[in-house]
């Protein structure tokens, strides 16, 4: 199948430009890097709160009429990606084409861990206007394991300085502190969660505690030689991880005609959510069942669905559903 479109969302104080090196290593994919409201070329749009940015991204996905896509969110962009993924899982129209999520040093749905002294310092940089060159340098260098090559460092510094003041302050004072964890819950959508070995607040430990629990089908990867600015620091390694995850997500892609039907107004949100939930394998976790039970149900699957054969993964899903006692109206 055609690889899904990769939709890239940047970090605080960055822009779509931070993904250029990564996209260069993914030339076999359609890569679309977006400027979030208030940043990059969209700096003039001003501040958008978390809910507004989520609405904006959902509308961007609908407007592009994509058959299949994977959301790739870095830091601040990761929080927005997760919130849109949750809306897709709930059956919101126009989002059934989201096949997976890649979170890169991502801010979680819950309040982002951040040293309050550093938060106050960063707020102070924009208190009376745009950040100075020295302050922007401090931000970029503090988030890099090693000093970036000059051209990339200058680009990252320039993006910090052209950030909209209200958008910068809005994220640090409010957006990063908002708690959407209960609204997100746990999602079946396949996720790849990535951390840099040298990252501080949003490193591996934070990702395992704050993002991993929201995804039932998630894999965790750690990138060596990187802090927080992984797209700048290790673009080749990051691109390889994204390509692998996109290939796995493509296996669950729906036929184009059916995908468009599923996203049409002929399908209710409840039905759409139930059908999307069936695309992704849920973790088994069925202590009630032994190997003989799995073998029996797999044999039953082979009898009812000959094309599947004795599918142990599907048998596990059936047993998990029975164990949990959860029904969605389908027989």
In a 10 Å sphere around its CB, with 0-12 CB exposed, 13-18 middle and 19+ buried, how is residue 33 labelled? buried
| Residue 328 confidence (pLDDT) | 59
- Please state, in angstroms and rounded to a whole number, the distance separating the CA atoms of residues 47 and 203: 27
> Is 115 buried (19+), middle (13-18) or exposed (0-12) by CB count in 10 A?
exposed
Report the distance separating Cα 76 and Cα 214, nearest Å.
Answer: 16
* Residue from 234, 240, 251 nearest 190 by CA: 251
Domain boundaries, the chain: 5-250, 284-331
Looking at residue 158, its pLDDT comes to: 98
Q: Which residues pair with 215 in a beta bridge?
A: 187
Q: How many CB atoms lie within 10 A of CB 264?
A: 12
Q: How far apart are CA 215 and CA 171, in angstroms?
A: 24
Query: Tokens 């409840």 sit at which residue?
Result: 270
Which helix (H) or strand (E) covers residue 6, if one does? strand 5-9
pLDDT at position 249: 80
Beta bridge partners of 74: 104
- Confirm if 193 and 219 have CB atoms less than 8 A apart: yes
Q: Residue 256's pLDDT is what?
A: 77
Q: Which residues in the chain come in under a pLDDT of 50? A: none
In Å, how far from its chain's centre is CA 16? 15
Q: Is 325 helix (H, G, I), strand (E, B) or coil?
A: coil
Q: Distance (Å, rounded) from C-alpha 110 to C-alpha 273?
A: 23
pLDDT the model gives residue 280:
67
Torsion on CA atoms 171, 36, 219, 301, rounded to nearest 10 = 120
The confidence score (pLDDT) of residue 265 equals 82
Q: Can you give the pLDDT at residue 283? A: 57
DSSP assignment of 199-257: -STTSHHHIIIIIGGGBSSEEEEEETT-SS-HHHH-HHHHHHHHHHHHHHHHTTPPPHH
User: Quick check: 199 and 233 in contact, CB under 8 A?
Assistant: no
Structure tokens of 219?
């894999």
Fold of the domain spanning 5-250: Rossmann fold (3.40.50)
Those residues whose C-beta lies under 8 Å from the C-beta of residue 125, and which sit 6 or more positions away, are 131, 132, 135, 136, 139
Q: pLDDT at position 325, please?
A: 64
**What's the token pair of residue 292?**
């003989």
pLDDT at 277: 74
């Amino acid at each position: 199948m055609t690889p899904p479109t990769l939709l890239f969302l940047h970090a605080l104080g960055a822009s779509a430009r931070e993904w250029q090196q990564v996209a260069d290593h993914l030339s076999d994919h359609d890569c679309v890097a977006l400027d979030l409201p208030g940043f990059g070329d969209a700096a003039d749009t001003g501040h958008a709160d978390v809910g507004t940015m989520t609405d904006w991204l959902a509308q961007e996905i609908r407007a592009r009429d994509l058959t299949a896509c994977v959301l790739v969110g870095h830091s601040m962009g990761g929080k927005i990606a997760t919130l849109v993924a949750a809306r897709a899982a709930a059956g919101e129209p126009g989002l059934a084409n989201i096949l997976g999520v890649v979170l890169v040093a991502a801010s979680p749905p819950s309040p982002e861990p951040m040293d309050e002294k550093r938060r106050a310092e960063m707020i102070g940089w924009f208190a009376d206007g745009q950040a100075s060159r020295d302050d922007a340098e401090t931000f970029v260098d503090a988030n890099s394991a090693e000093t970036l090559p000059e051209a990339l460092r200058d680009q990252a510094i320039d993006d910090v300085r052209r950030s909209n003041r209200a958008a910068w302050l809005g994220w640090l004072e409010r957006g990063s502190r908002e708690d959407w964890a209960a609204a997100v819950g746990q999602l079946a959508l396949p996720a790849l969660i990535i951390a840099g070995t040298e990252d501080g607040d949003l490193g591996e430990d934070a990702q395992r505690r704050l993002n991993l629990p929201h995804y039932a089908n998630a894999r965790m990867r750690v990138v060596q030689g990187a802090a927080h600015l992984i797209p700048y620091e290790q673009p080749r390694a990051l691109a390889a991880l994204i390509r692998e995850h996109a290939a796995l997500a493509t296996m669950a892609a729906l036929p184009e005609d059916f995908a468009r039907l599923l996203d049409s107004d002929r399908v209710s949100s409840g039905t759409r959510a139930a059908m999307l939930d069936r695309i992704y394998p849920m973790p088994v976790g069925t202590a009630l069942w032994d190997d003989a039970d799995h073998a029996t149900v797999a044999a039953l699957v082979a009898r009812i669905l000959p094309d599947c054969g004795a599918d142990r993964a599907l048998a596990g899903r059936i047993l998990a559903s029975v164990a949990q006692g959860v029904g969605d109206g389908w027989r």
